[in-house]
């Protein structure tokens, strides 16, 4: 255990925050539970510099919880596109609707009611209660876990339940009885700016006097890393269908799974599966006088890798420019690709409108569409 007294830890951190901490972040202005909540959700596994423009745009479009609840999921996800971990956006939207329906549009002010909302755990609830509602609650996000693991030289990966419980106990003990709202922001700031994952700036750290990892020259050891497990690699062939009106055929993905609720290209498990589908269209009856695009007109683009938290996805784009794809009496939705659930919502969308962010699409889809705009 560190010999630096616990009150001294908190006071030293607050003194540092007063003079060196960040006080001009957008969610630190006009503080209220809604603004803090949105920022905490966006900041999960995402850096501040990445979040800021998303947060500002989100707040401009949805300035209150009632505005967010009244929006469509499609509108919300279009503001989330590129930020990743899209379940966060879906949960945020669902929780806003619950706040309107169950709490009269007022953000709840009790811990149990807050953690009952989708996507809010103990630490996020603690941050909202501490920063926005002036109630003493501890937090334990990734930054705080790193600070405490190093300061007390806690052995074991913080994701293990026993280690996490130990860190929660320390987090609660260190949270002061006064200025706990500033302390909450201060300890997050310390982890984000000085006690960083790599190349921490220990020499100017306000609590280095009692940090056991620093004393033992083992800062790079703590926190213990998650036991390594090789990520599997999956394959996906994406069919980019572009018509003569400069429109792209997109399907809305199921709510569960990767890119849930976002719009994406028809997906196949192999190149041959895509060819077989297109060949079936060529052979379809009652095509009329209009000829379909032939599978041989497929253009293969370079494949690339997109990494998720649990696996790598090797993406193989296939471009089909369909100047005369449909028959005289046919509708594009008659030939939607994918599962029944995927086909429930599919349509042609203007290419430029998608690139301009008017539709929620995942980052790899945006990357491919931008290639069409500026080949």
Helix, strand, coil in percent for the chain, rounding step 5: 45, 10, 40
- Quickly list DSSP for 93-128: HHHHHHHHHHHTTPPP-SHHHHHTSTT--HHHHHHI
259 in Cβ contact with 342 (< 8 Å)? no
At CA 292, angle to CA 287 and CA 297, rounded to 5?
165
Using DSSP's 3-state secondary structure scheme, residue 247 falls into: strand
Are 253 and 263 spatial neighbours (Cβ–Cβ below 8 Å)? Answer: yes
Residue corresponding to tokens 């709202």: 181
Residue 190 CA to residue 150 CA, distance in Å, equals 12
Question: For the chain, how many residues are written?
Answer: 375
CB 243 within 8 A of CB 323: yes
Backbone angles phi, psi at 305, to 5 degrees: -105, 135
> In the annotation, is 40 catalytic?
yes
Q: Please pick, among 40, 247, 251, 267, the residue that the annotation labels catalytic.
A: 40
d(CA 8, CA 29): 29
Distance CA 33, CA 148 (A): 26
- Give the angle 318-324-326 at the CA atoms, nearest 5°: 90
Cα separation, 268 vs 236, in Å, equals 6
Q: How far is CA 183 from the centre of its chain?
A: 26
CB 63 within 8 A of CB 251: no
Q: Which residues contact 70 (CB under 8 A, 6 or more apart)?
A: none
- With contact defined as beta carbons under 8 Å apart, do 320 and 247 qualify? no
DSSP code of residue 227: P
Half-sphere exposure (Cβ direction) of 134: Cα atoms closer than 13 Å: 1
Point out the residues that are catalytic: 40
């Amino acid at each position: 255990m560190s010999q630096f007294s616990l009150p001294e830890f908190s006071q030293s951190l607050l003194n540092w925050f007063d003079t060196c901490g960040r006080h001009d972040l957008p969610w630190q202005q006009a503080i209220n539970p809604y603004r803090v909540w949105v920022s905490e959700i966006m900041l999960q596994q995402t850096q501040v510099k990445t979040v800021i423009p998303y947060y500002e745009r989100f707040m401009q479009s949805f300035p209150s919880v009632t505005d967010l609840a009244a929006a469509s999921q499609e509108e919300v996800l279009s503001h989330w596109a590129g930020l990743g971990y899209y379940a966060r956006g879906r949960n945020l939207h669902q929780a806003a609707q619950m706040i309107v329906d169950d709490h009269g549009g007022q953000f709840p002010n009790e811990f149990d009611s807050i953690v009952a909302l989708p996507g809010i755990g103990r630490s996020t609830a603690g941050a909202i209660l501490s920063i926005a509602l002036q109630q003493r609650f501890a937090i334990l996000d990734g930054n705080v876990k790193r600070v405490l693991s190093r300061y007390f030289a806690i052995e074991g990966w913080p994701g293990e339940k026993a280690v996490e419980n130990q860190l929660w106990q320390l987090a609660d003990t260190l949270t002061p009885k006064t200025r706990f709202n500033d302390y909450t922001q201060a300890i997050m700031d310390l982890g984000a700016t000085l006690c960083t994952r790599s190349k921490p700036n220990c020499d100017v750290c306000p609590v280095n006097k009692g940090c056991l990892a620093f004393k033992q020259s083992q800062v790079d050891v703590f926190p213990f890393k998650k036991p390594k497990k090789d990520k599997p690699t999956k394959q996906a062939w994406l069919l980019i269908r572009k018509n003569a009106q400069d429109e792209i055929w997109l399907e809305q993905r199921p709510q569960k799974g990767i890119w849930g609720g976002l719009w994406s290209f028809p997906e196949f498990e192999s190149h041959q599966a895509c060819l077989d589908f297109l060949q079936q269209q060529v052979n379809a009856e009652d095509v009329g006088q209009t000829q379909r695009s032939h599978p041989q007109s497929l253009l293969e683009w370079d494949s690339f890798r997109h990494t998720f938290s649990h696996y790598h996805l090797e993406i193989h784009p296939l471009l089909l420019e369909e100047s005369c794809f449909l028959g005289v009496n046919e509708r594009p939705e008659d030939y939607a690709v994918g599962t029944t659930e995927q086909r429930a919502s599919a349509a042609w969308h203007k290419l430029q409108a998608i690139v301009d962010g008017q539709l929620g699409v995942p980052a790899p889809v945006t990357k491919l569409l931008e290639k069409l705009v500026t080949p």
